[in-house]
Amino acid sequence: MFARRLLNGGACRRLFARRVHSEPADPLLAKIDISQVSSSATGNWLLFSSGLSLGVIAANGIVRTSDATLVVPSITTLTVPSSEEQWTQRYVAYTQTSNFRAQHTQMPMDEFKQKYWKVMTSRYLSMALAAGYFVPLAVLARGRHIARKEYGRVAANGALVLGYAAAGAKLQTSGNGSESGMPSVGWQLSQVTLGYFMFSDLLIYGLGILRTRRLVSGRFPHSARFRQIFEQPDVRQARLYAVLVEHGIVCAGMAGVFMATTNAGQFYPEWPLVGSRAIASDDFCATGWRIWENPAVVAVMHRSLGEGAGVLALLTWIKFMRLRKALPRSAILFAHGMLAMTAAQVALGIATLWSTVHPHVSLAHETNSYLLLVATILLMNSTKRLPPNQHLGKLIRSLKLPK
């Protein structure tokens, strides 16, 4: 009898019953056409593709930093030798390339096998990324899980995936006909740039769809209040800072390609100065107008962009801390994460210079830039306009929110 009273009493209802929010219903929910929003399966697929793309980017970074880009001369090679005789044939074929004559004349068979496995792993992951994007795309499109107005963005992301794979394939064969045997700088820049845009857009698009579905399903009980908060000038300015941080990360990453191709980190390993002085002005005119081949210019450009992005990240964190009482907890958590990743990125950048561009430290520096990009995108998404869907912008602007 006592247990029954306890279960039916108000104490258990207060502890275990579903909370009822006293806020008025969001007027936007009744105005949203659900056919304009893709399904949650689409958002999960995009997040899976972004995670897979990050693995592909990391694998290509390992290939690039270990100088294994051109070890497999033919792009049509998709198998790994299974016997010692086959390994010998592949090794002999590689010795006939210009890359071997220019850089790897003293490379033994064991080192060749390690580099070969790295290249093949990156190729397998690239094929897995293509299959992981286009096969579910066909299934989702057939099941009408993707909104019709979002077909263009899905196609654009598919073009980025194919472009990244094509740039990687061209990069692994672009040096075979050159005298230096080095991979093309243009293709390296294309691969890194497409990688940043592919990963960031897949992540932003997937998070936007899931957040919109959460709003439509009623699992965002404070959406009306947060919408008014997110449209305040101070919050919009803080979000703009985060957007600038994202662009700064991408620009610094693109400048890092020239750091690698010109060996600027080995020429100027000092920090915070360049060549033991603030600006190596005597070296600025060494290559004329081809500034991307000048180590001094590249070093100054990469450091300036990286330090500028770090300062913007610090200002963004300060801005969000001033608004922490009004913003959701997730935004504050992501702001802390962005600041931590920024500090780690700066420390890894300095360590890369002081270690004279050690491959492992350089790879950690490059990989952490994507983690910093993830934290920044999550911060942007946590304070983005509700719902975060580009096709519902007119509806949001036309909606008269309650005072």
Q: What does the pLDDT look like over 164-192, one tens digit per residue?
A: 988 887 777 665 444 444 556 777 788 88
d(CA 130, CA 161): 7
pTM for the model stands at 0.78
Q: Average per-residue pLDDT in the chain?
A: 78
d(CA 217, CA 296): 55
Question: Which H or E run contains 297?
Answer: helix 295-322
Question: Which H or E run contains 243?
Answer: helix 233-262
Region 371-380 average pLDDT: 91
Structure confidence at residue 12 (pLDDT):
41
Structure confidence at residue 38 (pLDDT):
85
Question: How does pLDDT run across 324-360, given as a tens digit for each residue?
Answer: 888 888 889 999 999 999 999 999 998 988 888 888 8
Structure tokens at 116: 């070969």
Region 79-102 average pLDDT: 82
d(CA 187, CA 170): 7
d(CA 65, CA 63): 6
Report which of residues 361 and 402 the model is more confident about: 361
Structure confidence at residue 386 (pLDDT):
56
Indicate if the pLDDT at residue 221 is higher than 70: no
Among 35-39, 93-97, 174-178, 187-191, name the one with the lowest average pLDDT.
Answer: 174-178
Collapsed DSSP state (helix, strand, coil) of residue 58: helix
Region 360-377 average pLDDT: 90
Question: How does pLDDT run across 1-12, given as a tens digit for each residue?
Answer: 544 443 344 444
Q: How confident is the model at residue 238 (pLDDT cuts 50, 70, 90)?
A: confident
Is the omega angle on the peptide bond into residue 387 within 30 degrees of 0, that is, cis?
Answer: yes
Region 8-30 average pLDDT: 46
What's the length of the chain? Answer: 403
Q: How confident is the model at residue 19 (pLDDT cuts 50, 70, 90)?
A: very low
Domain-wise residue ranges, the chain: 36-221, 232-384
Q: How many CB atoms lie within 10 A of CB 88?
A: 12
385, burial (CB in 10 Å: exposed 0-12, middle 13-18, buried 19+)? middle
Structure confidence at residue 286 (pLDDT):
52
Q: How confident is the model at residue 27 (pLDDT cuts 50, 70, 90)?
A: low
Question: Which H or E run contains 250?
Answer: helix 233-262
